[in-house]
Amino acid sequence: MSAWIGTAFALGLAGSVHCAGMCGPLMVALPSARRGAAVWLDAVSYQLGRIGAYTVLGLLFGLVGKGISLAGFQQLLAIGGGAVLLGGALFPLVLERKMAGLPVLRRLGPWVQRKIGVLLQGQSRLAPLTVGALNGLLPCGLVYAALAGAISTAGGWEGGVFMAAFGAGTTPLLLVLMSGSCAVSITWRRRLRRLQPFILAAMGVWLIWRGLQLDLSLFEAAVPKARLECH
């Protein structure tokens, strides 16, 4: 499990540049950030809400993966999850468009955006936490790829921890951005962006290899091994 956590954190860290581009304007628009008060408190509340949403999604997807595994489709689960991660590494925009085209997600995106708009117009102290949680539900190709990893853990608790680690990995750069600092150089941002597809591809290859190994182990168990007999 520790390897899963480290991989999920690395994926989040490498993908944080993408997150900063997508969510940066939203974070800056938070009510208290406009007033210039309690910026760090808002930043932490927002990130906790976002990571909390990822954790719940990971828990749900992990439970789905567990059900698939218990039904005897563990090999298919591993290979399918690996294929999705490879697709996210090679064709990230295609994956995002395909997922965003699903009927449920087409309805979810506008609904979440309307709710966030209402919260941004108010002055509630819980607005950053709630906006962060809602933001975790917005359509995002990187999150879809991470959820493929979560479902492949084949466990509710494991999937939740996987997505929590992923969310934690995206947090450092977003906190820097929300504080108004530009401490992360363009060079490091480019390095992180280039690292993301390699981590996705490595996760995908490992899952496919694990699925093939499961199939090989079943084959070896079914075929008796040849024994050396002396006459």
Cα 183 to Cα 201: distance, rounded to the nearest angstrom? 29
Which is it for the CA torsion 18, 19, 23, 27, positive or negative?
negative
Task: Determine the angle formed by the axes of helices 92-100 and 74-90, rounding to 10 degrees.
Answer: 120
The pLDDT tens digits for 176-203 are: 766 555 555 566 666 667 777 888 888 8
Q: Considering the entire predicted model, what is its pTM? A: 0.77
Q: Pinpoint the alpha helices (H) of 137-183.
A: 141-152, 156-178
The pLDDT tens digits for 80-116 are: 888 888 888 787 777 777 777 778 888 888 888 888 8
Token pair listed for 63: 């439970």
Question: Percentage of residues in the chain with pLDDT exceeding 70?
Answer: 74
**Confidence at residue 19, expressed as pLDDT on a 0 to 100 scale:** 66
Is residue 198 a contact partner of residue 44, using CB atoms and an 8 Å limit? no
What mean pLDDT comes out for the span 139-161? Answer: 89
Maximum average pLDDT range among 1-15, 64-78, 214-228: 64-78
With CA atoms as reference, report the closest residue to 88 among 77, 98, 78, 102.
Answer: 98
- Average predicted confidence (pLDDT) for the chain: 78
Cα 109 to Cα 121: distance, rounded to the nearest angstrom? 19
